[in-house]
Every structure is written in C-alpha cells, then in structure tokens.
Amino acid sequence: MAKLVSLISGGIDSPVAAYLMLRRGVDLVAVHMDNRPFTDEKNLNKTLRLIRHLQNLTQRPIRTYVVPHGPNHIAFARNCERHLHCLFCRRMMYRIAERIAQKEGADGILTGESLGQVASQTLQNLMVENQVIRVPVVRPLIGLDKVEIIEIARKIGTYEISTLPSLCCTIVPKKPSTAARASDLHDEEQKIDLGALIEKSLGGMYVLDPEAL
Amino acid sequence: MYSILKPCKTSAAFEAIPRDRLSLDLDQCEEILRNVCTIVTNAGILLIVNDRCEVSIHKDGRLILKTDSNDLAAEQAARIAGWLEGTPALRKPPQSTRPGE
C-alpha cells in the first residue's frame, strides 16, 4: 500500500487533495506546518477539524504531526530576499516533509497545489521547489481551477470547515516572486544555517490526535 | 493617521490602512514600542502584543490587528499611531507628481 506525507493547512485545497488520495487507497500521514506567530491558533484548530472530518469520512486513521515553522519564517525574513520568501517557505516545508516521509516509510509528499493559483504555484516555482528533495511530490489538484476544487470541497464537507475565520499568513511579501531562479534561491539560502533550522523544526515537532479536540 | 478599518477576507482580524502613504523604519519602531508593549519579533514585519491584542506592523504602515472587535482594533490602531507619530520611525514619502499637476 502506498503511503504519502500530506502537507495540510487549514485552507480549501489540501484537504481535497488528501481526500482524493485517501479515496484511491493511499495511506496518509498528515503534516501541518504551524506558521504562528504569523498566523493564529485558529489555523491549527481548523486543520485538526479537517483531518478528523477526513478520518470519519473515509474511516482511515491519519497520523498527524504539527511542525513549528514560525522560526523558519523569521530566519528567512531577516536574512534573505523578501520577494522570494514564499519560495523559501515552501522549499523548507518540502525538506521537512521529506524527512518525515523517511521516518514514516512514506513514498512521497502530497500537496494541494494547483497551477497558477497563487504566486508560488507557477510551473517555474514548482520546479525550483522540487529541486531540494528526492521524493516525488503528488499534486492531484494541479489541473483543477478554484471553482472545481471548491465543488469537491463542498461535496465532501470540508469547505465549511476550511472557510471558518482564521488569519492568513502575515509575513507574505507584497510582491512575491512568480518566476524564481534556482541559483538565486540557492545563493540566498547560503545566508542561513538550513540544516540547523530543519533539525530545530523536527525537534519541535509533535503528534496531535484530531479526535482529542 | 488611520482612516479605514476593514475586516480581512478571513474575518479573523482587522486591517488598518494609513490615510497617507507612509514608510516605517521597523527597527526604530521596535525601539519606541518596546517601552509600551511586548515585541514578539522584528523580521520584515514587526509583531507586537498590546493589551492582549496581537498586531502586525508593516513597513508601509499597514496594521493587521488580531481581534474580533472592531472597536478594539480602532482603539489599538489609534494608540500605535499616537506612539509613532512625530518620531523618526515614521516617514511620509513625498507624493509623486505628474507634469502639469
């Protein structure tokens, strides 16, 4: 049986992606990157409610990890080019998810990305995000538009949870890069100790039981 | 200084928009505000907590106020504006002018 590490936020897309793969019989390990203090606790709460909903809907257990990501944002914001911030953030998420995939014996990473939906999800950006990991990234929503994703979310009952009030990430730059170059990202990332940040994130990681909400 | 307060799309916070174009020196803001509130972090945006209300201060003067209360958001925005107004932390960039204006 295939197993994927599912990056789950409290938004609309990632729970839909998770549902589609659960429906195909794939086992999931959920990872929520906790962006506090640049978001609020409502995002974490929504994520756990979404995972609980998916578990009930599919009758499949989903082991759920929460990883502190705020300190990574601070390191990038203080040391690296602001307009590349979302790329640094996502590359970091991928690196951490890959490590969790190794620990859990998973075959790849699952995300809710769909092409062109936000600045970080252009083809060029997705390519430079992929370059930092070796495991495959599964993107079941890549060709769907927002209306189609919302339609599925409504059908499976996640839309109402995903659209509960919460705070969007406040550290997103005003003009995020839509066409980042790998060499620029690499040069900027040399300014910080990536390895130490990854270890610290994994050290602060904890398991949460969505049923305990 | 802040004339508009509107809820964010997600409704979990309010946004205070400066009436005029502003430019904030966040390091100087931090120096000033640390005497009156708690600084959470200064990293591209300045995060503070004042009276249990978390506020993100952006370089362009925008404030994101984590509260469900419109009144509290307005009060906090006015208070922060009062602390910063007239200090070197706050600059009003010259308005761009077009030929003939």
Model confidence pLDDT, tens digit, residues B27-69: 999 999 999 999 999 998 999 999 889 999 999 999 999 988 8
Q: Is B55 helix (H, G, I), strand (E, B) or coil?
A: strand
A37 with B40: Cβ contact below 8 A: yes
**Looking at the domain that runs over A3-212, which CATH code has it been given?**
3.40.50.620
Backbone angles phi, psi at B32, to 5 degrees: -75, -45
Task: Select the more confidently predicted residue: B90 or A213.
Answer: B90
All structural domains of chain B with their residue ranges: 2-91
Closest residue, chain B, to A80 (C-alpha): B44
Q: Which of A35, A38, A192 to mutate to test the interface with B (most CBs of B within 10 A)?
A: A38
pLDDT for residue B10: 61
Report residue B101's pLDDT band, with 50, 70 and 90 as the boundaries.
Answer: very low
Give the C-alpha separation, A9 to A15, whole Å.
Answer: 8
Alpha helices per DSSP H over chain A? 13-23, 41-58, 70-79, 85-104, 123-130, 146-156, 159-162, 182-189, 194-203
B43 with A78: Cβ contact below 8 A: yes
Tokens of A5: 């590490």
Task: Identify all chain B residues contacting A170, using CB atoms and an 8 Å cutoff.
Answer: 45, 47, 56, 64
- Which superfamily does CATH assign the domain made up of B2-91 to? TATA-Binding Protein (3.30.310.10)
Tokens of A63: 């082991």
**For the whole model, what pTM was predicted?**
0.91
Q: To 5 degrees, how large is the angle CA A105–CA A111–CA A114?
A: 155
pLDDT for residue B99: 46
Report percent pLDDT > 70 for chain B. 83
For residue A108, give the H/E element and its range: strand A108-110
- For A21-37, how does the pLDDT look when each residue is reduced to its tens digit (9 = 90+)? 999 999 999 999 999 99
Work out the mean pLDDT of chain A and round it to a whole number: 95
Q: What is the ipTM of this complex?
A: 0.80
Give the C-alpha separation, A93 to A28, whole Å.
Answer: 17
